[in-house]
Amino acid sequence: MWQGFSIRPDQASTIAQGVDYLYYFLTAIDLSFTGIIFLAIFYFAIRYRRRSEQDRPEQIEGNVPLELAWTLIPLGLVVVVFLWGTSLFIRNSRPPAASTEIFAVGKQWMWKLQHPEGVQEINELHVPVNQPIKLTMTSEDVVHDFAVPAFRIKKDVVPGMYTTLWFQATKTGTFHLFCDQYCGTDHALMRGEVIVMEPTAYEQWLSGGIRGGTMAEAGAKLYDQLTCITCHGTGRGPSLAGIYNKPVKLNNGSTVIADDAYLRESVLYPSAKIVEGYRPIMPTFKGQVTEEQLLQLIAYIKSLTPPEGKATK
C-alpha cells in the first residue's frame, strides 16, 4: 500500500518548479490565515468563556479601521497572487518557436498520438528530453483532457476544435498521462504514459517505428485520393501552396490566418469562410475524413512551398 507513496509529485518539466513555488507560497498564505483564525478563536473561546449566566458583556459596534485593514490586506495579497499566477500562466501557455509538433486525438477511451515523422502510438507518448514539444489536440467524440501531473500541464481536448499544449521534459522516465475530463464509462481507463528518452534513444525509437511515410506524405496521398487537386491548383479553387499560417482575404472583406483551425473548418464546412474571388462550390468532406486524416492533410498543406515567392491565394 505504501509503495510509491510521496507527498509531492515528480517535477519533470521546465514549468513544474515555477508552479510549485507559487503552490508553496499559496500554502504559506493559507497556513498563516488559518493559523491566525484558529488561534484567535481558541484564545477568545478560553479567555471569554461564560462564567455566569448573568454575564452581560459590553457591546461593540464594530471598528472601521479594522474592517479596512482586513479588507485591504487580503486584497493586496490576492493581487500579488493574481499577478504572479497570471504571468506564469501566460508564459506556460506559449510554446517556444522551436517546438517539435506532435498531434493527439482523444477518443472514448484511448489516446492516439502521431509524430510528424509518421510514427503513430496509442496511450503512449515517446518524447526526447530537454526538447520543447507542442501538442495539437482534438477529440473524435466527447470532451477529454490531456493531463501530465509530473509536467504540471493540462488542457481539455475538445471535439470540433484544436487546443494546444506544450512542455519540455527535464528528466528521462515514465510519467502518468491521465484523461482529466470525465468522458463516460471507461474514463478511469483512459490513461497512458509519457516516456521521456535521451535524444539518441528517441531517434532510434522513432526510426524503428516508421511504417508508412511522414504525416505530410500520408496527407499528400489523401489529397490525391480525395481529388483536391482538381480544383486547388487548377484555379477553380484557391491555391494552397504557402498559405499555412499566412493571412487570407475573405469575400466578406475580412482576413483570417490560415492556421490549423481555419484549414480544418474549410475541409469540413467549406462555405463557412470563402476566400475572396472564389465561389462557394466546394463540397464538405465531413464524414469522409477522420480527425487524424485531417491532421495529415494539414501537415501536407503546411509542407507545400509557395510558387515563385508569391504567397497569396
Partner 1 sequence: MATAASDLDTHVNYLNANYGVKSWLLTTDHKRIAILYLVSITLFFLVGGIAAVLMRIHLIEPNGAIFEPGAYNKLFSMHGILMVFFFLIPSIPAVLGNFLVPMMVGARDLAFPKLNLLSWYVYMVGGVLTMYAVVGGGVDTGWTFYTPLSTTYVNTNVLSAAFGVFVAGFSSILTGLNFVVTIHKMRAPGMTWFRLPLFLWAMYATSLIQILGTPVIAITLALVAVERLFHVGIFDPAVGGDPILFQHLFWFYSHPAVYIMILPSMGVVSELIACFARKRIFGYSFVAFSSVAIAVISFLVWGHHMFVSGQSVYAGIIFSALSFMVAIPSAIKVFNWTATLYKGSISYDAPMLYALGFIGLFTMGGLTGLFLATLATDTHLHDTYFVVGHFHYIMVGGAMMGYLGGIHFWWPKITGRLYPDGWARLAAAIIFVGFNLTFFPQYMVGYLGMPRRYAIYPPEFQVLNVMSSAGASILAVGYAIPLVYLIWSMRYGPPAGPNPWGAKGLEWETPSPPPTENFEETPVVTEEAYAYGK
Give the range of 44-52, 207-215, 241-249, 295-303 binding partner 1 by CB under 8 A.
44-52
Cβ contacts of 286 within 8 Å, gap of 6 or more = 268, 269
Amino acid at 200: T
User: How far is residue 175's CA from residue 92's CA, in Å, rounded to a whole number?
Assistant: 19
The residue within the footprint of partner 1, chosen from 102, 105, 145, 239 (CB under 8 A), is: 145
The residue within the footprint of partner 1, chosen from 127, 128, 180, 293 (CB under 8 A), is: 180
Give the range of 152-160, 210-218, 228-236, 238-246 binding partner 1 by CB under 8 A.
152-160
Instruction: Rounding to the nearest 10 degrees, give the CA dihedral for residues 96, 101, 102, 106.
Output: 70
Using CB under 8 A as the binding rule, the residues of this chain from 115 to 144 that contact partner 1 are 141-143
The residue within the footprint of partner 1, chosen from 110, 116, 129, 158 (CB under 8 A), is: 158
The residue within the footprint of partner 1, chosen from 11, 22, 117, 120 (CB under 8 A), is: 22
Amino acid at 234: T
**Alpha carbon of residue 66 to chain centroid:** 44
Determine if 227 is a binding residue for partner 1 (CB under 8 A).
Answer: no
Closer residue to partner 1 in complex, CB, 66/97:
66
Determine if 189 is a binding residue for partner 1 (CB under 8 A).
Answer: yes
User: How far is residue 310's CA from residue 306's CA, in Å, rounded to a whole number?
Assistant: 6
The residue within the footprint of partner 1, chosen from 11, 88, 273, 276 (CB under 8 A), is: 88
Residue in the block written with cell 490549423 = 260
Please give the C-alpha separations between residue 20 and each of 76, 215, 259, in angstroms, as whole numbers. Answer: 21, 37, 34
Determine if 206 is a binding residue for partner 1 (CB under 8 A).
Answer: no
User: How far is residue 51's CA from residue 69's CA, in Å, rounded to a whole number?
Assistant: 32
Determine if 82 is a binding residue for partner 1 (CB under 8 A).
Answer: yes
- Closest separation in Å from C-beta 276 to partner 1: 25
Beta-bridged to residue 144, according to DSSP, are 157
Give the range of 75-83, 236-244, 275-283, 302-310 binding partner 1 by CB under 8 A.
75-83
Cβ contacts of 161 within 8 Å, gap of 6 or more = 138, 261
Determine if 280 is a binding residue for partner 1 (CB under 8 A).
Answer: no
Cβ contacts of 9 within 8 Å, gap of 6 or more = 149, 150
The residue within the footprint of partner 1, chosen from 182, 210, 247, 284 (CB under 8 A), is: 182
- Closest separation in Å from C-beta 162 to partner 1: 9
Using CB under 8 A as the binding rule, the residues of this chain from 242 to 271 that contact partner 1 are none
Give the range of 31-39, 110-118, 237-245, 276-284 binding partner 1 by CB under 8 A.
31-39
Please give the C-alpha separations between residue 194 and each of 127, 136, 156, 191, in angstroms, as whole numbers. Answer: 7, 16, 17, 10
The residue within the footprint of partner 1, chosen from 153, 241, 248, 295 (CB under 8 A), is: 153
